[in-house]
Chain A
Amino acid sequence: MLDSLPTHGVGGSTDLPIPFLYAMVGASWALTISFAVLALAWREPRFDAEPEEAEPPARRPWLAVVGFVVAGWFLGALFAGRDDAGNAGLGALYILVWVGLVPLALLAGHVWRDLSPWRTIQALVGRVSGRADGFVAYPDRLGYWPAVAGLFAFVWLELASPDPGSIDAVRLWVACYVVVTIIGGIVFGPRWYDRADPFDVYSAIVARLSPFVRDGRWAIHNPLRSLPQVPIAPGLVALLATLLGSTAFDSFSASSFWQSRSVSGFLQTLTLVGFCVVVAVLFQAAARATGGVSAEKRAELPGRLAHSLVPIVVGYIFAHYLTYLVEKGQAVLFALADVNAEVTFVLSTHTSTLAALKVSFVVAGHVLAVVAAHDRALIVLPRAYRLSGQMGMLLLMVTYTFTGLFLLFSV
């Protein structure tokens, strides 16, 4: 079932390219709505007047227990299971943890915080040692950079390492992750998980887009109101660029253009870095492209606009990985539970509906992003530059979305 993973990430079949017409319809909607927002939308900020986020509620113990059991199950499968690429723990990491994290955060908010066994271990050690907040204050200037490093290490393992299906490599990666995450938590306290644990940070950021949960409690709300609360810290743009760039690289590396060349591991890695860097540099440039602000204020703009990138990331990741999660996810669950069941190909067999869903995710993400960026621009840009100062970001978002649709259509 999962006997072997090919060189470009999670194994097995991939989606058909979306039809050209769908890509065109999606692209024209994205373009039209973008300029409609710029030209016709509100002139006073609407979503940013929210009160500051309250202290998050305490972690729910029953979820901590669930998190412990699930993590134990996955780790047990990974380390005690078969010594080849058919190991169910591999699929659990690549599909259930990595891809499943996104819909989980959208539906249930940042429930990862409650589930995380590493937070539980830290809390227990903290209680015993009397150092609940760790031994050293987490240096603020580090920001999200440790999480960026962790995320990059993960996407490198999945997309650019010599053999992503190598059980030894995955075991080594997970072992390093677990050790670093536990020690970091004990030393720096819970702040470590808010800034440095790649999965925890990823979940926390996606959770701001959840319409169902805010501040850790069920509450139906407009996600455009919770999205601006993404905490700004150094490395935020790099974090989102790593997610978007690596997903685009995954599409690109499956293209005939790339597959027809025998690319060395080093060049593979360099190209992956290149994708992430291009996404980040373009965003930095577009966010700063306005008149009428001091150099100091200009340097703050990318961070203050970074939250608007989240819907584009989530929309594209959904479009790219939905089939993996729904169909390969079944295979992984069957392998984990050691049952012999048939996978139901609910999406693959409905090719047109799948293509329509993928385009819809990308366009919906784009629209949310444009609206979020517009609203924030009204706050951060001086009055005289409110329209012209948004142009760069708008064009960049259109570029991201067109590129995403192009990759979905051509690969």
Chain B
Amino acid sequence: MKKIAVAFAAALVLAGCGGSDTGTVSSSPNPNQSSAAEPSEDVVVDIAVKDGKVTPQGDRVEVKVGQKITLHITSDAHEGVHVHSEPEHEYEVEPGDDVEKSFTIDTPGQIAVEAHHLGVTIVQLVVRP
């Protein structure tokens, strides 16, 4: 039983290594992503803070490592938009603002973009290699 478990774990790890190698060679197209063909294309996330609510809320946005991400924020209130990447990005917006903020993310993972005064997650950036 133990041998099976060990062999299984080894097989999975090996498969994993192989997977990541091929993954970097051929960029697999992703149906959820409008700009999958060219990783260099920008991703724009439209964010509206209005009447004490923020849209979108809790959505997933697929991006690639190194891809330029632009948050297009319109707001009718004072709000702090935090991008929980490393390093962090923090954008303060004021009532009547209509701003664009851009950044890139260099490490794969999921990054929460949060509205800190309202205490909600606006989007979760799903950053793939």
Q: Does B44 contact A (CB under 8 A)?
A: no
Of B13, B15, B108, the residue contacting A348 (CB under 8 A) is B108
Tell me the chain B residues, 32-63 only, with Cβ under 8 Å from chain A. Answer: 56-60
Q: Does A14 contact B (CB under 8 A)?
A: yes
Tell me the chain B residues, 54-92 only, with Cβ under 8 Å from chain A. Answer: 56-60, 82, 84-88, 90
Contact indicator B107/A357 (Cβ below 8 Å): no
Query: Measured between alpha carbons, how far is A323 from B109 in the docked complex, in Å?
Result: 10
For the A-B complex, the count of residue pairs with Cβ-Cβ distances under 8 Å equals: 124
Contact indicator B88/A259 (Cβ below 8 Å): no
What are 16 A-B residue pairs whose CB atoms fall within 8 Å in the complex? Answer: A4-B82, A6-B84, A7-B119, A7-B121, A11-B84, A12-B84, A13-B111, A256-B58, A260-B58, A261-B58, A351-B129, A352-B17, A353-B17, A355-B16, A363-B5, A364-B9
Contact indicator B84/A351 (Cβ below 8 Å): no
Q: Does B128 contact A (CB under 8 A)?
A: yes
Q: How far is the CB of A347 from chain B (nearest CB, A)?
A: 9
Chain A interface size range: 35 or more
Please judge, given known A-B contacts A4-B84, A352-B23, A353-B20, whether A345 and B114 are in contact too, CB under 8 Å: no
Tell me the chain A residues, 331-355 only, with Cβ under 8 Å from chain B. Answer: 331, 343, 345, 348-355
Q: Does A29 contact B (CB under 8 A)?
A: yes
Please judge, given known A-B contacts A13-B110, A260-B59, whether A1 and B86 are in contact too, CB under 8 Å: yes
Contact indicator A33/B1 (Cβ below 8 Å): yes
Query: Measured between alpha carbons, how far is A4 from B18 in the docked complex, in Å?
Result: 36
Interface string of B94-129 (1 = CB under 8 A from A): 000000000000011111101010011100101111
Contact indicator B8/A349 (Cβ below 8 Å): no
Contact indicator A349/B107 (Cβ below 8 Å): yes
Q: Does B25 contact A (CB under 8 A)?
A: no
Contact indicator B13/A360 (Cβ below 8 Å): yes
Contact indicator B12/A351 (Cβ below 8 Å): no
Contact indicator B57/A259 (Cβ below 8 Å): yes
Q: How far is the CB of A321 from chain B (nearest CB, A)?
A: 14
Q: Does A145 contact B (CB under 8 A)?
A: no
Q: Does A22 contact B (CB under 8 A)?
A: yes
B-side contacts of A3, CB under 8 Å? 88, 90
Q: How far is the CB of B28 from chain A (nearest CB, A)?
A: 11
Q: How far is the CB of B56 from chain A (nearest CB, A)?
A: 8
A-side contacts of B31, CB under 8 Å? none
Query: Measured between alpha carbons, how far is A36 from B87 in the docked complex, in Å?
Result: 48
Contact indicator A356/B110 (Cβ below 8 Å): no
Of A33, A256, A351, A364, the residue contacting B108 (CB under 8 A) is A351
A-side contacts of B8, CB under 8 Å? 29, 360, 363
